[in-house]
A and B are shown apart, each in its own frame.
Chain A
Amino acid sequence: MTAHQTIRWVIKPTVFVTALVPAAVLLNRLVSGNLGADPLGEITNTTGLWTLRFVSVTLAITPVRRLTGWNAAIRFRRMIGLFAFFYGSLHLAVFVVADRLAALGFPDPFAWRTMHDLAASIGNEVFNRPYITVGFTSWLLMAALAVTSPASMIRRLGGKRWRAVHRTVYVAAVAGVVHYWWSVKADVRAPRAYAGVITALLAFRLVVWMLPRVRPSRASVSPAATMLPVQSLRRGSSR
């Protein structure tokens, strides 16, 4: 097997299955009644934290690649980014169903009235509670990035524009941390830790951007090593 094949047929599937472990553990705890006294709080916290962790790993790919020269890392970025969206979507779905739909008393899910009331109820939370406003914004941005993640979308948008669009991941990451920070009551130690990680990862980009010398010359990034799906991305991928 070539290195390319090993990544495609062995490492990538392994990473995929590993990324599902937190969801599997949570599901197992749910069905076995092992989520403690407050299952909703536990599921909400756990899915939210895993969203931030996957966002952090996604943002760490480029620094790792630059610092170690291990260019194949780029091949995991989309998958891990999509897992961030996956856990973020679980987090949001739990809020929509167990909090908002439950507060309406679980009306007929197929009635037009239900959709209307649910939308009004979610809208009310999104517009009136700043921590939900930023959290929902973060999810919307991740959704846009997920939709534009296939290779066909890179082709359609063009590499340059696609990269510009996908830089909004920085905004989504910051909004995610702010959402976490504003959601805690008094103890901000954990949100501060995540803020530190995200800040460091974003600062890396800032440093690279401000000091052009740090940026590796194009020649040093072998196109073969990056194995990007699209020709246009092989040039000047400087994120």
Chain B
Amino acid sequence: MLIRRPSDIPSSEITEKNVYLHRREFLRTIAGTALATTAGTLFTEPLLRAQQPAPHGRKLTTRPSRLSTDERPNSWDHITTFNNFYEFGTEVHEPAIHARDFKPEPWSVTIEGECAKTGRLNLEDVLRGETLEDRIYRHRCVEAWSMVIPWVGFPLSRLIAKCEPTSKAKFVVMTTLYDPTRMPGQKVPVVPWPYVEGLRMDEAMHPLTILAVGLYGEVLPNQNGAPLRLVVPWKYGFKSVKSIVKVAFVEREPINTWKRVASNEYGFYANVNPAVDHPRWSQATERRLPSLFKTRKTLPFNGYGDQVAGMYAGMDPKRLY
């Protein structure tokens, strides 16, 4: 089972702690609302930020990975209050607020397409037999900011092996949940829903490519793509699709959501590439949050070139954006 309760704490105490946390949140909300009303909309944003929960304490059993970077991870606070997750709002502070009541359980993943084991897998079946690893990865957004994030997950290749893809399976397509009642951002057609992303089969099978279920050794917060999300550290963040409900094996290159929205700005490969600018900004440098300054030199393949560049030998580097 995923959730390990520390044995030295009686369950009664955990309940008390939850109540206690709820009370604080409640008081903060009341105080926040009162202050916000007085101060007007000008000052509400910092107050809403101040309401964000601390780590929730639902621990996962993990083991370290040699694929982790030794760079210092960003804080829990920054990773969980600065999210591009349009399903819960298009502004980066919104998912932390609007995803709070999202229930990522029960959860199942539909497997379809060119594979032997089509059907539905409960999240428990997806995780059965998997050893969860701490994978501390650099995360580079296409919008020229970056973080270091201590994910918890397991290789996507493990799930793919369970599905037994056929020789026709050249690409894997992953789809986010579509449910506007639970994901209020989907009530607005800012992008065509549901969100779809894909990988070439060799990319999907690469040991760096993981399905993440946790952060900082704890169960993944909703705003970060709970309960199951992709992480592909050498590609821009938008490739790492969140809250996955469908995995499909296909023969032809799929059209991912952002490519569909603006194919001149976002490609299929979306490999981090300092040499190819986004039409609206340079990708040569990035700001490592929470730095104020865009000083950090962006590395090809986000610094994972040694492990992944071989997959793209012979390809026009201009396509790799």
Q: Which residues of B in the span 239-263 have a Cβ within 8 Å of any Cβ on A?
A: 261-262
In the complex with contacts A36-B93, A38-B145, A106-B295 CB distance below 8 A? yes
Known: A34-B46, A36-B81. A186 touches B90 (CB 8 A): yes
Taking a contact as CB atoms under 8 Å apart, the answer to whether B90 and A103 are in contact is no
- A183: chain B residues within 8 A (beta carbon): 280
Complex CA–CA separation, A99 to B78 (angstroms): 21
B191 touches A186 (CB 8 A): yes
| B3 contacts A by Cβ under 8 Å | no
Q: Judging by beta carbons under 8 Å apart, are A37 and B294 in contact?
A: no
A83 to B278, CA, bound (A): 32
Interface size on B, residues (CB 8 A): 36
Please determine whether A41 and B92 come into contact, CB atoms closer than 8 angstroms.
yes
Whether A155 sits at the interface, judged by CB under 8 Å, is no
Contact of A102 with B43 in the complex, beta carbons under 8 Å: no
Decide: A22 near B42, CB < 8 A? Known: A39-B290, A40-B287: yes
Cα A37 to Cα B143 in complex, Å, equals: 14
Complex Cα distance, B292 from A29, in Å, reads 13
- Contact (A98, B292) CB under 8 Å given A40-B287, A186-B191: yes
Are the C-beta atoms of B92 and A129 separated by less than 8 Å? no
B74 adjacent to A37 (CB under 8 Å)? yes
- A131 at the binding interface (Cβ < 8 Å): yes
A103 with B295: CB separation less than 8 A: yes
| Chain A, 125-141, CB within 8 A of any chain B CB | 125, 129, 131-132
- Given A103-B284, A186-B90 in contact, is the A40-B292 Cβ separation under 8 Å? yes
A129 & B281 in contact (Cβ 8 Å cutoff): yes
The number of chain A residues with a CB under 8 A from chain B is: 30
List the A side residues contacting B289 at CB < 8 Å: 37-38
Provide the residues of chain A in CB contact with B291, threshold 8 Å: 39-40
Bound-complex Cα distance A90 to B316 (A): 40
* Contact A29-B294, Cβ < 8 Å, known A36-B93, A129-B281: no
Q: Is the CB of A186 within 8 A of B292?
A: no
Q: Contact: B285 with A129, CB < 8 Å?
A: no
A38 touches B92 (CB 8 A): yes
* A108 interfacial by beta-carbon distance below 8 Å: no
B147 in contact with A37 (CB, 8 Å): yes
Q: Which chain B residue lies CB-closest to A39?
A: B292
Which B8-48 residues sit within 8 Å CB-CB of chain A?
Answer: 42-43, 46
* A189, CB-defined interface residue at 8 Å: yes
Residues 3-56 of A contacting B (Cβ, < 8 Å): 21-22, 25, 29, 34-41, 43
Cα–Cα, bound, A20→B37 (Å): 21
CA–CA, A39 and B78, complex, Å: 11
Query: In the complex, what's the smallest C-beta–C-beta distance from A186 to chain B, in angstroms?
Result: 5
Chain A residues near B287 (CB, 8 Å)?
Answer: 38, 40, 98, 102
Which chain B residues (63-110) contact chain A, with CB distance < 8 Å? 74, 77-79, 81-82, 86, 90, 92-93
Interface string of A113-155 (1 = CB under 8 A from B): 0000000000001000101100000000000000000000000
Interface: B206 (CB within 8 A) = no
User: How far is it, in angstroms, between the C-alpha of A40 and the C-alpha of B46 when the chains are bound?
Assistant: 15
Q: A131-B280, A186-B190 are in contact. Are A41 and B145 (CB under 8 A)?
A: yes
> Is A109 interfacial (CB 8 A cutoff)?
no
Interface residues of B (CB under 8 A from A): 42-43, 46, 49, 74, 77-79, 81-82, 86, 90, 92-93, 143, 145, 147, 188, 190-191, 261-262, 279-282, 284-285, 287, 289-295
Binding site for B on A (CB under 8 A): 21-22, 25, 29, 34-41, 43, 97-99, 102-103, 105-106, 125, 129, 131-132, 182-183, 185-187, 189
A99-B294, A187-B90 known, 20 other contacts, Cβ within 8 Å? A36-B49, A36-B93, A37-B147, A37-B289, A38-B145, A38-B289, A39-B290, A39-B292, A40-B293, A41-B92, A41-B145, A98-B294, A103-B284, A105-B295, A183-B280, A186-B86, A186-B190, A186-B191, A186-B262, A189-B188
24 A-B pairs whose Cβ atoms sit less than 8 Å apart in the complex: A22-B42, A34-B46, A34-B49, A36-B78, A36-B81, A37-B78, A38-B92, A38-B290, A40-B292, A40-B293, A98-B292, A98-B293, A99-B294, A102-B293, A103-B282, A103-B284, A103-B285, A125-B281, A129-B279, A129-B280, A186-B86, A187-B86, A187-B188, A187-B190
